[in-house]
Chain A
Amino acid sequence: MSVETVVPFVMVLIAALLPLSLLPVMIWAERKVSAFIQDRTGPNRAEILGIRLGGVIHAIADVVKLMSKEEMTPARVNRFYFVLGPFLALFVPLVSFAIIPLADSLNLGGTVIPLRAVTLNVGILFVLAVTSFHVYAVVFGAWASNNSFTLLGGLRSAAQMISYELGLGLSVVGTVMVAQSLDLGRIVEHQGGTLLGFLPAWNLFLQPLGFLIFLVCIFAETNRNPFDLTEGESEIVGYHLEYSSMKFAMFFMGEYIAIIGASAVTATLFFGGYQVPYLDTDFLRAHSTGVLRVMLVSMGAICFVLALLYRRYHRRLTALYHDRRRNEARMLGGMMLLMGLAAVVALLFVSPLPEAGGQVVVAAVQMTTLLVKILVVSFFFIWIRWTLPRFRYDQLMGLGWKVLIPLALLNIFLTGALLVFSGRT
């Protein structure tokens, strides 16, 4: 098998598995960040052989609980749509990940291999189309449940998502005009380099107004606070009121994957995607051996520091308790030590990389950069949720139609005017 056939296959796998593997992290972060914001401890009880990972294990406990709960289907529901709803809710946000460029294309002796699952030259349109499909999941679930509360949730959802789709679509037009392309790959490439010599050339700085509108709309699209009217648990209890067990969980998983997807799109469109600030692909590729060394050194350093911290933690636990909690410090500390040692050994044997190897190293660095950006934006999502109250329905509509859409149009006009006067077209 040639590289050209293997790489896309790997990319599809990554695009499908990355959001799924980030899911427990998101759930954990939601709980821990909210606990931090609210002066609480957050989850820290669930354990496997004493390993708690600061609460990540709770995600496993959740899965076990949700899987083993009784699956209730109320009488007089439309079964087909009742089941279709949660499946769509989980499936649709996963798809949007396929279009995100995870790193700059490989260039092996003239053959260009893009590092994303699907290469489309109308990438943005695909993203918008897929996001708008999410409304079906909610409306199907809400309507099929045959319940007045869920029906209200579904109605809210339909109105809200359709209204904010307009703002969302219009807000990215400015970005498209700047990059002169609908292709996400082109848009990211355009964000390499610097602005005025010191700012990364991210669309965040080129399109500040567009970014704000996009951010508000993407919050509304993912039904997150302050736009979680669809759920609105203190008012209409939510569109998934009648769901239980894994079907209920699927709505929630879908919500978090939608957040990860939305973060990925935000990072790609406005935070330079996979671009490492100040270091463009050519520079990285030219210094791939150095990059590898820096990576190994930093990895080694982090592992050693963590190993040291775990050692202290182990001592404290030994002084306080004699139970399985010490296992965590022992095992993870040992693992960190081994990884640190491995990094040191690898550092000793690093020789100048061949062209292809260098490109793979750079791709890994860029993927990591994208991941970090996704996590930062996701953190922002969580932060906002635990800070702001919820909008009222009519105010939400007013904001969408009367503020965001005119502003987005203004943004398009301003961008166009600037492009014309600066002679870029």
Chain B
Amino acid sequence: MTTAVSAAIDAVRAGMGDLLEPEENRFGEAWFRASPENVRIVMERLKSEFGFDLFLDIGGVDGLDRGRSNADRFDVVYSARPAESSERIHVRVTLGADDPAVDSVSHVWAGANWCEREVFDQFGVRFIGHPNLKRILNHKDFVGHPLRRDYDIKKQQWLSEPDDLMDEMEKERAASAGEEPNECLLINLGPSHPATHGCLRILVDLDGETIRRSVSEIGYLHRGFEKSVEQGTYTHVIPYTDRLNYCSSVLNNVAYCRTVEHMLGIEITPRNQAIRVILSELARIMDHMVCLGACLVDLGALTNFWFLFNEREKIYEVIEALCGARLTHNYIRIGGLAHDLHDDFESGVRGLLRSIPAALADVYGLVGRNRIFLDRVVGVGVISAERAVSYGFTGPCLRASGVANDLRKDEPYYGYDEYDWDVVVGQNGDTHDRLMVRFEEMNQSLRIVEQALNRMPDGPVNVDDKRVSFPPKEDVYGNIEGLMNHFKLVMHGIVPPEGESYVGTEAANGELGFHIVSDGTAKPYRIKVRPPCFMLFSAFGELIRGGMIQDAIAVLGSLNIIAGELDR
């Protein structure tokens, strides 16, 4: 679990005491408060002096229903950490209800650009000096800011005019005026283009086949996840998380439940840990298989798709036998699991351990030294380590740029440090490295699964904690405490203590963070997801500039943009 006792945080406490006021955080995280006029200088110094170069997230919280007045209604929370460690810092800025505005920090971290747009879109907070402050997830003609507590969710809006994106494109064109003499051809890649799996739109300006500039539009799959989860209890959130990165839904379950467990101070049982590790790593393998398979199809190598998806199908069969669902598993519970493993689970996973390496070897044999493949991906879509952390890259895409950062190693949870495995690191940050890092990560995940399976402890899967777990049935029927406990859990649900917490988990695409604000009731006051894809896709324009259309397709495939998580 995160602790505030760390060198970088202490340095901030000592060095920026005048600008940052430490906040009490009952979960042991490093939260600070800054005044709005200091945001720019604080962030610049945090990055340059204290090494918080990896941008994590900017999230908003509307305090209307938790006793905030008009003068301090909105919180904007900035999160960052050093690239090679997990010492996160969270800085809160409080703004008034009347035209909330704060300085933009998009010049400090490239990733802040889109995150500020999101806060603007959802809360109506203006960011002064932002290069392109417009809506990002909601439609351009949308009225109101949906994540404000007083937004009427039953109000329906009829939005029919698509955004032609020319306002952004004209800006881009003006920025590079005079670079090339040729007239460019505008082409929309997406939203329904064979290579934009999910639903994305990229407007590209083509000079021949060369992409001079591009503008992306997202939000086609925006379904108000963060608003929906404010309506139910903490347990109700779990099935929603399945739909974030639907290629590896167990990982989303785990990331969410870890955060709530952290807030409740619950340590899950060893057996539960091992099961979660096995399922997480299988989910990671599936996610990487989807990424590699789809990317190779887009490169024209169709057969690999079946080689990988046949194995993915076998994993799905094992998971289907476990929880009855194939895509949205909804298997993890706060403090436990929906139920224990079934008897054939172990033999099923052993079968996977035998068959997956063979399939990976087949695919590697087809593409690993294939000259056409290498020509297509080596040196394409290169991003330096410095730019990658500035954009907030995490996971395989960051490791491909040569940053050995993996939360499973940096802040080991579920006993990841007890397993024998390696962090896979690339060198050049190009498409090839991004794909090959994923390739090798599958092998490492298999190692973890095998070890976890070998040392699977016996015992209960649910914690013995009255706040989250149902009491045994004999207690429910036999004594009043058990009955009351059962009643409270069913009728009210799980109630974390009041406060704010951010926990990051190493999901298949990178750090999947949940920033949960609890007001001490059974309903989450606010849940902000830090989706790794969002930061990855915000760098897309930079990655494909100057390349060809086919490079853009290859880069898109290697980033593994999952629209469910991107748009929420």
Residue numbers of A with Cβ under 8 A of B are: 34, 37-40, 148-149, 152, 156, 225-226, 228, 232-237, 386-395
Contact = CB atoms under 8 A, between A and B. Distances in A.
Given A39-B306, A232-B550, A390-B299, A395 B375 contact: yes
Interface of B: 185-187, 193-195, 206, 209, 296-303, 305-307, 310, 366-367, 370, 372-373, 375-376, 548-551, 553
B548 A234 contact: no
21 contacts: A37-B303, A38-B303, A148-B185, A152-B209, A226-B300, A226-B372, A234-B194, A234-B299, A236-B549, A237-B193, A387-B366, A388-B370, A389-B299, A389-B367, A389-B372, A390-B372, A390-B550, A392-B376, A392-B550, A393-B209, A393-B550
Given A149-B187, A235-B195, A389-B372, 18 more contacts: A38-B302, A38-B306, A39-B306, A148-B186, A152-B187, A156-B209, A234-B298, A235-B549, A387-B301, A388-B370, A390-B299, A390-B300, A390-B372, A390-B376, A392-B376, A392-B550, A393-B209, A394-B548
Contacts of A149: 187
A343 to B, nearest CB: 40
Contacts of A236: 549
Given A232-B550, A236-B549, A387 B303 contact: yes
A234 B553 contact: yes
A386 B375 CA distance: 18
Which secondary structure characterizes the binding site on chain A? loop
B306 A389 contact: no
B376 A39 contact: no
Nearest to A390: B300
B460 to A, nearest CB: 41
B310 A39 contact: yes
A40 B376 CA distance: 27
Contact of A235 (B302, B372, B550): B550
Contacts of A393: 209, 548, 550
Nearest to A385: B302
Contact of B194 (A37, A38, A225, A237): A237
- What 5 pairs between A and B have smallest CB-CB spacing? A390-B300, A38-B306, A389-B301, A234-B298, A389-B299
A38 B307 contact: yes
Nearest to A149: B187
Contacts of B550: 232, 235, 390, 392-393
A167 to B, nearest CB: 17
Nearest to A231: B300
A55 B416 CA distance: 50
Nearest to B194: A234
Contacts of B373: 389
Contacts of A387: 301, 303, 366
B194 A233 contact: yes
Contacts of B187: 148-149, 152
B292 to A, nearest CB: 12
A388 B194 CA distance: 19
Contacts of B185: 148
B300 A234 contact: yes
Contact of A389 (B194, B209, B376, B548): B376
B300 A228 contact: yes
Nearest to A148: B187
Contacts of B193: 237
B195 A40 contact: no
A234 B298 CA distance: 5
